[in-house]
Structure 1
Amino acid sequence: MRMVGLAEAKAQLSALLDAVEAGEEVVITRRGQPVARVVREQPRSDQAPDWPARLRALHGDQPGPAGSAVELLRELRDQER
């Protein structure tokens, strides 16, 4: 981990980004106190997550509520009267 002051970071931003791209972590300080950490961005998958499959994996084959949401809300409202 490399610590650099704000003035140095501004003057050598391109070199710092080269170091980060090479895997080095850079901490930028202001008056000796750390204020930011610059790390390499992790590559992202271009494929969107399959949310329905993830939910099925979490909840298995649990049945959903019977009836519509409107009916369920009416029942709950009527129970409180």
Structure 2
Amino acid sequence: MRIVSIHAAEANLSRLIDLACAGEEIVIGRNDGPVVKLVPVRTSAGRRQRGSLEGEVVVPDAFFDPLPAHVLDRWEQ
């Protein structure tokens, strides 16, 4: 983890952005400690594929049972 001052971050922002995009953790701080973390924005990995978790997730039969009356009442409030 690299901690830089606000002044240093202003002077080296482009380089710090490149480092963050390369996976390095960049923290910008003041005298009293860390303030913010510079992280890259991740793009979407694309559309999810239907059935990709088939066989890995088990839904118990009780999941489909009707909800108790006191729970249904809460939904209508």
Is the pair's TM-score, using the shorter chain for normalization, greater than 0.5? yes
**What range is the shorter-chain TM-score in?**
0.5 to 0.7
Identity of matched residues, %: 29
Check the 8 A contact 1:25/1:39 in 2, yes or no.
yes
Match of 2:59 in 1: 59
Check the 8 A contact 1:25/1:37 in 2, yes or no.
yes
Deviations 1:38-70 (A, max 9, x none): 23455542123759x67x92314x15236xx8x
Check the 8 A contact 1:25/1:40 in 2, yes or no.
no
Greater Rg by CA? 1
| Whole-angstrom CA distance in 2 between matches of 1:58 and 1:30 | 49
| Whole-angstrom CA distance in 2 between matches of 1:50 and 1:4 | 44
Match of 1:29 in 2: 29
TM-score (normalised: structure 2): 0.58
| Whole-angstrom CA distance in 2 between matches of 1:42 and 1:35 | 21
Aligned residues: 68
Gaps of 5+ in 2: none
SS in 2 for 1:59: coil
Note the C-alpha offset of 1:6. 0.9
Match of 2:13 in 1: 13
SS in 1 for 2:45: coil
What is the CA RMSD across the aligned residues, in angstroms?
3.5
TM-score (normalised: structure 1): 0.55
